[in-house]
């Protein structure tokens, strides 16, 4: 049930496919070749995890309500995906899904595998920062990809992720959000989601890319100075939001855009990115590891670089940094 190896609970999948309907013990026994006692045990295990399952003698079992968990079976039951999520590794808690994903990718995990945790105890943000990931309030997930592109094109994957995340948030919650360069998602000027992409490549090209995404969904507040810069969809809407719905919305969008990317249609994604971006045409201050540039953000190019016309009229091409204006 709580699977770290990507295996699925077939009984749960069956009950989910018939949610609200009774499934007879006879049908379950016949389908899985297990005894009635074994089914009873499994049903009780599901109840312990938080599933509300009715049972009626001689009628069967009926799944009434699911717990608020991002279980692989729930994701599969709620989405029609082709390559994404063919394998889903689920952790009640882990240090960082990006770290787990890199380990799994190194061991040969498939293109499209997902690594999801309810809590991260060592969540990582961009530029060595910490990503706060408390239990059961957010979407903390990494996607393992094996793209057939050159390493310098990898930022396109992150941009694809940002467009998919912004679209899914808008569609599934109605919250108006924007992309802040490079790929932060903001709501009313505060960060609601971020993406950390890590890559393993050698002379022959990319071995794998791990794209980690964190979405603050139901956080009630943020500690210390994060209060000023971070928000959640619950705070924005004034009520709790459905994590599973947002997650499946994101996966649906990401798969669709990723197929465009593979088909050589990055221009289409870039166009969407530009429309969602809140920096273009505005004054920005970009702070990098050892530089600061101020000026007007003119555009973003195919490599995800920000083009800024600085005070002296020169156009700077910035590959990484933080926009602070
Ligand atoms: C950022 O700084 O904006 C990037 C934040 C990325 C956070 C996500 S949560 C899932 C994945 N695992 C991590 O440790 N980080 C990413």
pLDDT in tens, 175-226: 999 999 999 999 999 999 999 999 999 988 999 999 999 999 999 999 999 9
Residue 79: both structure tokens together:
């989405």
Nearest to 287 by CA among 318, 317, 321: 321
Q: Whose CA is nearest to atom 3 of ligand 1?
A: 194
Given a cut of 70, the residues of the chain with pLDDT beneath it are 1-4, 6, 325
51, burial (CB in 10 Å: exposed 0-12, middle 13-18, buried 19+): buried
Ligand 1 centre to CA of 96 (Å) is 8
102 φ/ψ angles, rounded to the nearest 5 degrees? -65, -40
The full set of domains in the chain, from first to last, is: 10-65 (1.10.10.10), 72-276 (3.30.930.10), 283-323 (2.30.30.100)
Give the largest CA-CA distance in the chain: 82
Q: Pocket residues for ligand 1 (CB within 6 Å)?
A: 96-98, 120, 123-126, 129, 131, 133, 140-142, 184, 194-196, 212-214
Helix, strand, or coil here: 206?
strand
For ligand 1, the distance from its centroid to the CA atom of residue 67, given in whole angstroms, is 24
pLDDT of residue 4: 65
C-alpha to C-alpha distance for 21 and 109, rounded to whole angstroms: 36
Alpha carbon distance 212, 222 (integer Å): 21
What pLDDT does residue 3 have?
A: 61
Nearest ligand 1 atom to alpha carbon 117 = 10
User: Among 310, 61, 89, 312, which Cα is nearest to 210's?
Assistant: 89
Q: Whose CA is nearest to atom 15 of ligand 1?
A: 124
33 contacts 77 by C-beta, under 8 angstroms: no
Whole-number Å distance, alpha carbon 257 to ligand 1 midpoint, is 20
Q: Tell which one of 98, 165, 179 to mutate to probe ligand 1, the residue whose CB is within 8 A of the most ligand atoms.
A: 98
* pLDDT for 311: 87
Sheet holding 60-65, edge to edge: 22-23, 60-65, 52-56
Name the residue with the closest Cα to ligand 1, atom 2: 125
């Amino acid at each position: 049930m709580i699977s770290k190896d990507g295996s699925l609970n077939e009984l749960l999948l069956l009950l989910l496919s018939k949610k609200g309907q009774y499934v007879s013990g006879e049908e379950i026994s016949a389908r899985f070749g297990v005894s009635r006692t074994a089914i009873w045990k499994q049903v009780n295990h599901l109840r312990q995890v938080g599933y509300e399952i009715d049972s009626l003698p001689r009628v069967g079992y009926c799944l009434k309500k699911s717990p608020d968990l991002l279980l692989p079976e729930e994701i599969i039951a709620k989405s029609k995906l082709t390559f994404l999520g063919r394998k889903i590794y689920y952790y009640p808690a882990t240090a960082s899904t990006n770290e787990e994903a890199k380990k799994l990718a190194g061991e040969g995990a498939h293109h499209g595998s997902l690594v999801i945790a309810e809590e991260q105890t060592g969540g990582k943000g961009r530029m060595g920062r910490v990503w706060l990931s408390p239990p059961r309030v957010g979407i903390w997930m990494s996607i393992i990809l094996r793209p057939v592109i050159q390493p310098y094109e990898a930022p396109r994957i992150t941009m694809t992720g940002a467009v998919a995340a912004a679209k899914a948030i808008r569609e599934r919650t109605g919250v108006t959000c924007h992309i802040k360069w490079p790929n932060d998602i903001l709501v009313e000027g505060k960060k609601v989601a971020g993406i950390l992409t890590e890559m393993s490549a050698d002379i022959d090209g990319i071995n794998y890319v791990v794209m980690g995404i964190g979405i603050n969904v139901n956080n009630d507040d943020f500690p210390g100075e994060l209060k000023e810069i971070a928000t959640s969809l619950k705070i924005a809407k004034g009520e709790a939001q459905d994590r599973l719905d947002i997650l499946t919305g994101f996966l649906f969008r990401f798969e669709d855009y990723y197929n465009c990317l593979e088909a050589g249609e990055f221009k289409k994604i870039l166009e969407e990115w530009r429309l969602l971006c809140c920096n273009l045409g505005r004054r920005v201050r970009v702070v990098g590891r050892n530089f600061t540039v101020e000026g007007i953000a003119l555009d973003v190019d195919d490599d995800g670089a920000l083009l800024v016309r600085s005070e002296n009229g020169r156009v700077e091409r910035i590959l990484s940094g933080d926009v602070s204006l």
